[in-house]
Amino acid sequence: MKKQGILNSEIASVLAKLGHTDTIVIADCGLPIPDDVKRIDLALTKGTPSFIETLEVILADMEVEHATLASEIKTNNGQVLTEVKELYQGEKDFVSHEEFKKITKNAKVVIRTGETTPFANIILRSGVIF
């Protein structure tokens, strides 16, 4: 049994296989997930697990060089945006929610949380550890 890090075998496997510039998505429970993208569904109940607690665990185990969020989060979910900025201080950009949904088609995986607040979604681009 693993002693530390992510215990979810699917997430651990995906993160171990990422290469430079590959992307993953952490999503609220309402984001549409393209049929061709792997889905890891963590949602248990409304709010569990939360987007922020999932993001925190992923960031502790993944080298991230860039993050993308929907621009609508700025006016519709300031609390989550503030928490995202505290957890990830690296490079980030904002695109429309419609563009965000299009970009998810290129992700290696979408990790679906139980989050029920609006626009609590992020695309993380893998960096390198050297």
Q: Has 8 been labeled as part of a binding site?
A: no
pLDDT value of position 37: 98
| pTM of the entire predicted model | 0.97
Q: Which residues contact 11 (CB under 8 A, 6 or more apart)?
A: 40, 58, 109, 111
**Contact criterion met (CB below 8 Å) for 34 and 105:** yes
**Contact criterion met (CB below 8 Å) for 130 and 76:** no
Look at the block and give the residue holding tokens 């002693």: 3
Q: How many structural domains does the chain have? A: 1
Element (H, E) at 107: none
Q: What is the CATH number of the domain that holds 44?
A: 3.40.1650.10
With respect to residue 47, please indicate whether it lies within any of the assigned structural domains: yes
Nearest to 16 by CA among 29, 28, 2: 2
How far from each other are the two terminal CA atoms of the chain, in whole angstroms?
28
Catalytic residue from among 17, 20, 74, 85: 20
pLDDT value of position 103: 98
Q: Has 77 been labeled as part of a binding site?
A: no
With respect to residue 4, please indicate whether it lies within any of the assigned structural domains: no
Helix (H, G, I), strand (E, B) or coil at 11: helix
With respect to residue 72, please indicate whether it lies within any of the assigned structural domains: yes
Q: Has 51 been labeled as part of a binding site?
A: no
pLDDT mean by block of 10 residues, the chain; 130 residues: 90 97 98 98 98 98 98 98 98 98 98 98 97
